[in-house]
Structure 1
Amino acid sequence: MTRKQLVLLVLTLIALIPVLLSLIASINQPQIQANLQLYQTNLVLQASEFSEQIFQENNPNVNIELGEIMTALIGKNVSKNALKQYQEARQLSQNNLDNLENQLQVINPNYSVSNTLISSPNPKQLNEKINKQREAINELDLKLGILEAQEGNTSQSLTTWNNLQSTSLKNITDVVIGLWSPTYRIYPESELIINDNLKGWFRYRILKELYQIEDRQSDLIDLKQKEQQIAIYSLKKLILVSIIPLFLGIIGFGLFLFLMFQLVIKKEQSILFIGQELSWKTPWNFETILQVLIVGFFFFGQIVLPVLFGFLNIDISYLSLRGKAIYVLASYLSLSLGGLVVLYISIKPFFPLPKDWFKFELNKGIVWGISGYLVALPLVVLISLINQQIWNGQGGSNPLLSLALESQDKIVLAIFYITAAIAAPVYEEIMFRGFLLPSLTRYVPVWGAIVISSLIFALAHLNLSEVLPLAVLGIVLGTVYTRSRNLLSSMLLHSLWNSGTLFSLFLLGSGGN
């Protein structure tokens, strides 16, 4: 073993340790999917007011066809379905809390789940997560009580709310208990407390109850008119996050079936056929591949960057949302720059490169990129649904998704878009499709190189629950790049995927307001 190979081996071990630890840690971390479902449920609740008001008032301008569309879009028994979704989310949150408390019990055996503070300073961050999880459960219980009341289960609602009397939600629970108690109890600042603690349909539902009890007909009419406008906006958002992706998914699935049928019939002459003649001429050996992947991507991203940012003494948890967005962008641009520098230095001795390396063609790239996105959409969504059943709400998620979901700041969203829809597709496609996939064809069949590069691409995102769907996305990306011989095609596909995700998160995040 040469000195360079020894150094590379050591760097590989050092770089892969934090990667392995991150993957293991993600096992007990919650996924974002449960939150996404709740945000969509909130949109459906708001949109349902549009339906209910129109049909209750027998508006002559509404025909049967519109009613059928509404039913298909928001479903029947909206509040009952919403109650079920919130109950499932509550159970997942409780499971997450139990996992956190079990972890803390291992770290600090003196910890008691009845206490909110612990004496040992070691599990400080874990304890903060526990307290946040408890707060999230309390908020879910508050909304569960409102949904129970909507379904007529007043006694269950009162029991749920009474359990929140010793929490930070005491003021709002006092208000809702007073509104649904057998003998009404109206607090002087009820309306202010409701507006401060609730959003969306839940705020509307409580204000409606308050105005009805106080016989404030004028305020009730104004409230219904405002809710009607919000319901219309919610319907538009539901169409954008549900109907349009479904329509594109149907097109994509049809395209996938056509391509598979053509592969069976035409075989070597089909669009999807991948034979060894599609392999690249790779002038470097496995040592160069490892050097770029380990040093340029994992070592630089997992060791060098954290150390450099550590010198800046920045605690991201205390940053504002804009600060976090800028931090994420700066981190990713630094990672990209470092990785590309290592890539350039590693392959420079082999210039000029053989044909088909790092090619860009505009027209061909657009066709392949859009077609690949349409095919990827139903495949990844289907795998994601199966994947959710496997992980049952655990396995972690990209933290950028949660930040994008919480944000309605246009500047923050613009920064996230630059990070996820421009920087990430360019850098990751150069590294995983432009370099890694072709390099591997020197040692394995082309289809094997696609699968291996896709798995590494998925694992690089450091969340176990995302490995399967990201690997499927990577396979589509790899197939598109292999057949098109055009990096622009996989970059466009990658950008469209991330753009669609961010757009959906923005719409869902705005649904609760």
Structure 2
Amino acid sequence: MPPESQVDAPLILASLIILGILGCSLTLWIRHIQKPRDTINESPGIPAWSIGWVNFGIFICAMVIAVFMAQNIGVALFFEASSEGEAPRELTPWIAVLAVLLLQLPMLATFYGARRFYPGHYASELNVSTLSAVTALRQALPYFLMYLPVIWIVTLLWTSLLNALEAAGAIESFAPQELITLFQAGGSPLAIGILVIMAIVLAPIVEEIIFRGCIYRFLKSQTTRLPAQILSSCIFSMMHANLMSFVPLVIVGIVLARLYEKSGNLMVSISFHAFFNAFSLCMLFITSMSQAIPQ
């Protein structure tokens, strides 16, 4: 008799989670469509950041210089100089922790430094409505459940297009993001735990402040709302430097900007971003334990 096939528990769990989200999303979309138009609250909107191209350029340049200096100081302090011809240093969890800190913290420091020392140009209000963290999480969760399947569909279409282009020889093979490979490979549990916390807490806060609170609001002062959302989302996606995730992250960025406009508070966008990162890491962890799901 043939041996009994082993049940793949991670595959079953991932399938149940996906089916649950699809069911929740469908229910929320139906309720949204059936909601009377007169019961939909008017969007408070977000004021544009009208500081001009010169001051905005100074802000961006200061942020780039801060990141560059922090990363070079970090390399000088924590790593020996590599000799010529030496293979590139392998990415480890602790190196990833340092890399994330040396990217996110200088960006955040530049933002608060500009607001602190040059309030006339950079200290405009980010929010037009006041929300507690709990309220922001409660507002963001339904939108996360609604839009996550949309992001999945875009991801499948974009991946299919890239696979077709690769098969036709139009592009070279593309690799997943280094952090995804790192999580799959494992390593120091403490470093992995710190990376998870930073992905769920630090990254959403910093990236929403910079890309929605600053870049989107400035672009909105130079054009209309939709082009500003698209352009700021393209910049947000390019920062992740991965072709496979480019279009899906553009869609994520547009959703985040629209939530910012709709709620009038950046905490809602931060909460959505945190949900998205947490879910992505959770599914990555589950699928990494499966023998049936391709890695």
Q: Which of 4, 16, 23 is the equivalent residue of 1:250?
A: 23
Counterpart of 1:335 in structure 2 is: 103
Counterpart of 1:382 in structure 2 is: 153
What letter is aligned with 1:439? F
What letter is aligned with 1:488? M
Counterpart of 1:307 in structure 2 is: 72
What letter is aligned with 1:246? L
Counterpart of 2:136 in structure 1 is: 365
Counterpart of 2:59 in structure 1 is: 292
- Aligned counterparts of 2:52 and 2:130: Cα–Cα separation in 1: 21
CA distances 1:271-308 after superposition (whole Å, capped 9, x unpaired):
6x76xx72405352232333333431x4544x434433
Long gaps (5+) in structure 2 = 167-172
Q: Which of 11, 24, 32 is the equivalent residue of 1:238?
A: 11
- Aligned counterparts of 2:176 and 2:55: Cα–Cα separation in 1: 31
2:199 corresponds to 1:434: no
CA distances 1:388-426 after superposition (whole Å, capped 9, x unpaired):
111117444320001101217532431220231122111
- Aligned counterparts of 1:288 and 1:253: Cα–Cα separation in 2: 45
Alignment check: 8 A CA contact 1:407 1:506 kept: no
- Aligned counterparts of 1:290 and 1:257: Cα–Cα separation in 2: 44
CA distances 1:329-364 after superposition (whole Å, capped 9, x unpaired):
222222222112222233432276347269653243
Per the alignment, do residues 286 and 499 of structure 1 end up closer, same or farther by CA in structure 2, a change over 3 Å counting? same
- Aligned counterparts of 2:146 and 2:61: Cα–Cα separation in 1: 31
- Aligned counterparts of 1:354 and 1:343: Cα–Cα separation in 2: 13
- Aligned counterparts of 1:355 and 1:501: Cα–Cα separation in 2: 27
- Aligned counterparts of 1:396 and 1:333: Cα–Cα separation in 2: 23
State the TM-score, normalizing by the size of structure 1: 0.48
Give 1:457 shift. Answer: 0.6
Per the alignment, do residues 279 and 506 of structure 1 end up closer, same or farther by CA in structure 2, a change over 3 Å counting? closer
Give 1:431 shift. Answer: 0.8
- Secondary structure of the residue that 1:397 maps to in structure 2? coil
Alignment check: 8 A CA contact 1:358 1:487 kept: no
Alignment check: 8 A CA contact 2:45 2:264 kept: no
2:98 corresponds to 1:325: no
Q: Which of 392, 400, 410 is the equivalent residue of 2:189?
A: 410
- Secondary structure of the residue that 1:340 maps to in structure 2? helix
**More divergent stretch after superposition (484-493 vs 358-367):** 358-367
Per the alignment, do residues 371 and 425 of structure 1 end up closer, same or farther by CA in structure 2, a change over 3 Å counting? same
Give % identity. 21
Per the alignment, do residues 352 and 426 of structure 1 end up closer, same or farther by CA in structure 2, a change over 3 Å counting? closer
- Secondary structure of the residue that 1:441 maps to in structure 2? helix
Per the alignment, do residues 362 and 422 of structure 1 end up closer, same or farther by CA in structure 2, a change over 3 Å counting? closer
Counterpart of 2:244 in structure 1 is: 465
CA distances 1:128-163 after superposition (whole Å, capped 9, x unpaired):
xxxxxxxxxxxxxxxxxxxxxxxxxxxxxxxxxxxx
- Secondary structure of the residue that 2:244 maps to in structure 1? helix
Give 1:474 shift. Answer: 0.9
Give 1:372 shift. Answer: 2.3
- Aligned counterparts of 2:289 and 2:250: Cα–Cα separation in 1: 30
Alignment check: 8 A CA contact 1:291 1:346 kept: no
Per the alignment, do residues 470 and 352 of structure 1 end up closer, same or farther by CA in structure 2, a change over 3 Å counting? closer
State the TM-score, normalizing by the size of structure 2: 0.79
What letter is aligned with 1:286? W
- Aligned counterparts of 1:294 and 1:255: Cα–Cα separation in 2: 42
Q: Which of 246, 265, 269 is the equivalent residue of 1:490?
A: 269
Counterpart of 2:170 in structure 1 is: none
- Aligned counterparts of 1:358 and 1:432: Cα–Cα separation in 2: 19
Counterpart of 1:158 in structure 2 is: none
Give 1:256 shift. Answer: 3.8
Map 1:7-86 → 2, pairs under 5 A: 53=4
Per the alignment, do residues 421 and 489 of structure 1 end up closer, same or farther by CA in structure 2, a change over 3 Å counting? same
Per the alignment, do residues 249 and 382 of structure 1 end up closer, same or farther by CA in structure 2, a change over 3 Å counting? same
Alignment check: 8 A CA contact 1:332 1:423 kept: no
2:119 corresponds to 1:349: yes
Alignment check: 8 A CA contact 2:71 2:99 kept: no
CA distances 1:65-114 after superposition (whole Å, capped 9, x unpaired):
xxxxxxxxxxxxxxxxxxxxxxxxxxxxxxxxxxxxxxxxxxxxxxxxxx
- Aligned counterparts of 1:368 and 1:452: Cα–Cα separation in 2: 25
Give 1:384 shift. Answer: 0.5
Give 1:436 shift. Answer: 1.9
Q: Which of the pair has the greater relative contact order for Cα pairs under 8 Å at 6+ separation?
A: 2
Greater helix fraction, Structure 1 or Structure 2:
1
- Aligned counterparts of 1:432 and 1:358: Cα–Cα separation in 2: 19
Alignment check: 8 A CA contact 2:66 2:107 kept: yes
Give 1:254 shift. Answer: 4.1
Per the alignment, do residues 352 and 346 of structure 1 end up closer, same or farther by CA in structure 2, a change over 3 Å counting? closer
What letter is aligned with 1:452? L
Per the alignment, do residues 460 and 359 of structure 1 end up closer, same or farther by CA in structure 2, a change over 3 Å counting? farther
- Aligned counterparts of 1:338 and 1:452: Cα–Cα separation in 2: 23
Alignment check: 8 A CA contact 2:70 2:106 kept: no
- Secondary structure of the residue that 2:80 maps to in structure 1? coil
